[in-house]
Amino acid sequence: MIDTDVLVVGAGPVGLFCVHQLGIIGLKCEVVDNLDKKGGQCIELYPDKPIYDIPAIPECTGEELTNNLIEQIKPFKTNFHLSDRVEKVKKENNNWLIRTIKGKEFKAFSIIIAGGVGSFEPRKFSLKECEKFEGKEIFYSVKDKKIFKNKTVSIFGGGDSALDWAIELSSSSNVKLIHRRDEFRGAQSSVDKVKQLEKQGKVEILTQYQLSSVEGGDKIKSIGIKNDDGNIKKIETNYVLGFFGLIMQLGPIANWGLNLDKKHIPVNTESYETNQKGIFAIGDICTYPGKVKLILSGFHEGALAARGSFKYARPDEKLRFEFSTTSKSIHERLGVKK
Amino acid sequence: MAKITYIEHSGKSHTIEVQNGLTVMEGAVQNNIPGIDADCGGSMACATCHVYVKEEWFNKLPKKEDGEEDMLDMAYEPNKFSRLSCQLTVSDNLEGLVVNLPVKQA
């Protein structure tokens, strides 16, 4: 059981800046995020896309913004629990008990949800028949590449994951790369490499096709792929890999007893607290009259949710408002050397 | 202003007036038309506002810009008439546009 003042759910830009605001006012926190890295949508969806509306930063990419936020919170030495997801939360006396899918447990005075639009999960094939093979012969990520040795692997997708695995597995498996159009969106060097492998007969590329059927009993025997004109091709295969990027799902947050408005959590605009006392929601996941989904709005929401958390963590103290330019205690917390 | 018709996968049809300058996605979201999620809010980062444009309309629309086709790779059951509705800006030229919605967005 990890004891802390606040548990922050989500390590996107808004969660990261909230860590800063908590640190500034002297509260400890731990952060849990489903992705394997910090940065949330900024790093997962648009690391290279420029952002033009961060105050005082005329232009920066999602990755630069993330790196700067990480730099800014360094003094607080916050623990991040990545590739994990908060599953259950329970109120006990004045604390929240939190449990993750990996079985980590936390005790905190409050929870700040900075969950974007939920957690990222792989997009799956739309065919219902795929379900019974998922995790056995149909995968959306590769955990153990040894199982593919000397087998036929059909890889679907046009991005870097699909290309990289086609290249990687081509040395020891019979690889088919199937994509819905002729252009691949992955790195040009990978596209070139795959085309070269095709010429050498090591990868078979089938474009303008999508999965249309899966046949097999206990195990997959073959799949059908179909093009826009309705032509169907049958392929014998042992494994199927699908790389269609990630989709955001609200996930377990829906079961925490919070009011929900579509996929969003209504909050008050004084402290961004939800209907559950001690649970706050900030950033894209929260909603209130006039809500704008901008990163800068999330920063403001985080600043207020951090202060809202103070009364739960330090019920006998009064929070004094201080400026970072002059406050000795803030300087100490930031490790500013005079 | 343009009248735009959104046809849910079930066949249920909604025709609404959408203001010029809004996107076809915004027209749907602001009028609570089910079937368009638009998780990312229109930044072309999620492919959950995917629509099928009626064939006769498809070639009349402004061409896809960089990135839209890439995102459509990730959409649920895309076909050659697929567009992201967040990339379709409403103008008088779109009067009468009909879009079909997929079974689901993800």
pLDDT confidence of residue A188: 94
pLDDT computed for residue A300 by the predictor = 98
**What tens digit of pLDDT does each residue of A179-226 get?**
999 999 889 999 999 999 999 999 999 999 999 999 999 999 999 999
Task: Return the amino acid letter for B63.
Answer: K
Return d(Cα B85, Cα A3) in angstroms, integer: 46
Task: For residue range B28-53, list pLDDT tens digits in order.
Answer: 999 999 999 998 888 888 899 999 99
Chain A interface test: which of B46, B72, B73 (most A C-beta within 10 Å): B73
Q: Tell me, what's the pLDDT at A63?
A: 94
Mean pLDDT of chain A: 94
pLDDT above 70 covers a percentage of chain A that reads 100
> How big is the CA angle at A284 (ends B33 and A269), to the nearest 5 degrees?
105
Q: What CA–CA distance (Å, rounded) separates A161 from A108? A: 38
Q: Is A251's pLDDT higher than 90?
A: no
Residue B106 within any structural domain of the chain: no
A105 vs B: CB within 8 A = no
Mean pLDDT of A32-58: 91
On whether ipTM exceeds 0.85, the answer is no
Residue B46 and residue A159: Cβ atoms within 8 Å?
no
Interface contact flag, B40 A126, Cβ < 8 Å: no
Host domain of residue B94? 2-100
Domain membership of residue B12 (yes or no) is yes
Judge whether residue A66 has pLDDT over 80: yes
Chain B residues touching residue A183 (CB < 8 angstroms): 69
Q: Would you say residue B69 lies in a domain? A: yes
> Looking at the predicted structure, is the pLDDT value of residue A45 above 80?
no
Check B74 against A245: CB less than 8 A apart. yes
Are the Cβ atoms of B74 and A181 closer than 8 angstroms? Answer: no
Domains in chain A, CATH or no CATH each? 2-121+247-334 (3.50.50.60), 124-244 (3.50.50.60)
If one counts the domains in chain B, the total is: 1
Q: Answer whether residue B33 is part of any domain.
A: yes
Q: From A145, A186, A146, A141, select the one nearest A163 (Cα to Cα).
A: A186
Q: What percent of chain B has pLDDT over 70?
A: 100
Whether B72 is in a domain gets the answer yes
Average pLDDT over residues A118-136: 90
Residues of B with CB under 8 A from a CB of A: 37, 39-41, 43, 45-48, 69-70, 73-74, 76-80, 103, 106
pLDDT at A64 over 90: yes
> What does each C-alpha distance from A188 to A185, A192, A194, A306, A329 come to in angstroms?
8, 6, 10, 44, 51
Q: What is the mean pLDDT of residues A251-276?
A: 94
CATH number at residue B49: 3.10.20.30
Place of tokens 């800046």: A17
Cβ contact, residue pair A46, B41, below 8 Å: no
Interface check A157 vs B, CB under 8 A: yes
pLDDT of residue A229: 86
